Amino acid sequence: MEKLVEELKRKFRPKIKPIEWKGDKLVLLDQRFLPFETRYFEARTVADVAEAIRNMVVRGAPAIGITAAFGMVLSLVEKKPRTVEEALNTLTSAKETLAKTRPTAVNLFWALERMYNKATEIATSTATVDELKSALEEEAKRIFEEELDAEIRIGLYGAELLENGDTVLTICNAGGLATGTGLGTATAPIYVSMMLGKQVSVVAPETRPWQQGARLTVYELIQNGVPTKLIADTAVGLVMLKRLVNIVMVGADRILLDGHVYNKIGTLNEAVLAHEFGIPFYVLAPTSTIDPKSRVEDVEIEERDPDEVRTARSNQGIVYVTLKEVPVYNPVFDVTPPKYITGIITEKGVATQPLYKNLRKLLNM
Ligand code: MRU
């Protein structure tokens, strides 16, 4: 596998660059305006990074984690601490600010913890502030590089499940925009299959309310030459009944050790329907999305601005599709119980049922 991973890394030419680190700023492809406009958001401060994550300039679990990691580095660029002690205080406050941006995707907390632990490890040696900053910059870059490596492996494991001519049902955008690399998690098997000479097509539900499917997945798949059909979220059942898809592949924002999967609202519907129709349902995510500590009752499902449901994002900007004052419930993630999941594909391999046993095995726990 190692040779193939290296070869695919060399061959892989992303068409999009959602996250670019420039040494003193982070340049983010602003996903609020896609696919109509290509705009970039420059983050130079922790407040900028927090705004970018909270307001969905950048979104998707791995991309949020990578952005937050660079946000930690930016805190030192911004505040210019004079001592290592001051630097650690700056990092503590940056970590607190960034952790408050979005509650569900665990990659955010994972990346912040990893960056902070690196800082304390360096601080106990005789490092200067400059050395501490360089070490953190390297760590953030490593998190970014490891993500691409993980996705190529996920792509190879996932591609084994796909045959020439297959059609994959996905949800939301778990593609290159959501991970920062251009490859993605749920999309990795599709791109890898193409690189290996197989043709696979995709059915993408629009994914209300924020329309990640309609605006982002369709945009990136078509840009990469993948035959893609857009459906309304409400068409998922019929698409399965008519066998217009062979397999479901979705990303994840958090996976618990017992196999519960948090992902974009609507994932649960797809999983239950797939179970009913006997269609394999796979979750694809790097192991940084696995939360070894939490139980279902600990995880907060993010609820966002009611206006996201009252409006639609169009090429005319944001337009109301209902009464401005109608009460709204807007949970943006759901949780799928393990019994509906055929397997979880990570860079370390595929965990199948029983997930509570096989996920631990995969992690050597
Ligand atoms: O609210 P979003 O757009 O950040 O939600 C994204 C998702 O739910 C993705 O499916 C998940 O983060 C996996 S991304 C590889």
* Substitution candidate for ligand 1 out of 171, 173, 282, 290 with most atoms within 8 A of CB: 173
Confidence band, pLDDT 50/70/90 cuts, at residue 282: very high
92-104 pLDDT, tens per residue? Answer: 999 999 999 999 9
pLDDT given at position 131: 95
Q: Is 253 an active-site residue? A: yes
DSSP 268-282: HHHHHHHHHHT--EE
The token pair that represents 75 in the structure block:
């805190």
In this structure, the number of other CB atoms found within 10 A of the CB of residue 75 comes to 25
In the predicted model, what is the mean pLDDT of residues 94-119? 98
Atom of ligand 1 nearest to the CA of 178: 14
Domains of the chain: 2-151 (1.20.120.420), 161-362 (3.40.50.10470)
What pLDDT score was predicted for residue 333? 98
- Residue located nearest, by CA, to atom 6 of ligand 1: 60
Give residue 250 CA to ligand 1 midpoint distance, Å.
9
**Strand order, beta sheet including 290-291:** 290-291, 254-256, 261-264, 333-336
Q: What's the rounded Cα separation, in Å, for the pair 192 and 175?
A: 12
Selection from 359, 188, 348, 169 nearest residue 260 by Cα: 359
The rounded Å distance from CA 64 to ligand 1 centre is 9
Do the strands 290-291 and 254-256 form a parallel or antiparallel pair, or are they unpaired?
A: parallel
Residue 187 has pLDDT above 80, yes or no: yes
Of ligand 1's listed atoms, the one at least distance from the Cα of 333 is 8
Known binder of ligand: residue 343?
no
CA 263 to ligand 1 center in whole angstroms: 6
Q: Is the pLDDT of residue 89 over 80?
A: yes
* Atom number, ligand 1, closest to the C-alpha of residue 263: 8
Residues with CB under 6 A from ligand 1: 59-62, 105, 172, 174, 178-179, 184-185, 212, 251-253, 263-264, 332
Q: Out of 253, 258, 291, 307, which one is annotated catalytic?
A: 253
* Residue 130, pLDDT above cutoff 80: yes
Sheet holding 228-231, edge to edge: 228-231, 201-205, 167-169, 247-250, 281-284, 343-346, 349-352
- Residue 13 in marked binding region: no
From ligand 1's centre to the CA of 326, what distance in Å? 27
Structural contact between residues 144 and 236, judged by C-beta atoms closer than 8 angstroms: no
pLDDT value at 223 more than 90: yes
* Tens-digit pLDDT profile for residues 50-79: 999 999 999 999 999 999 999 999 999 999
Phi then psi for 262, rounded to 5 degrees? -95, 125
**Cβ neighbours of residue 346 under 8 Å, at least 6 residues apart?**
150, 154, 284, 285, 286, 287, 290, 362
Q: Separation of 59 CA from ligand 1 center, angstroms?
A: 6
CB atoms within 10 A of CB 233: 18
ipTM for the assembly: 0.99
The response to whether 212 counts as a known ligand-binding position is yes
- Digit-coded pLDDT (tens) for 330-349: 999 999 999 999 999 999 99
Lookup: tokens for 235: 């068409």
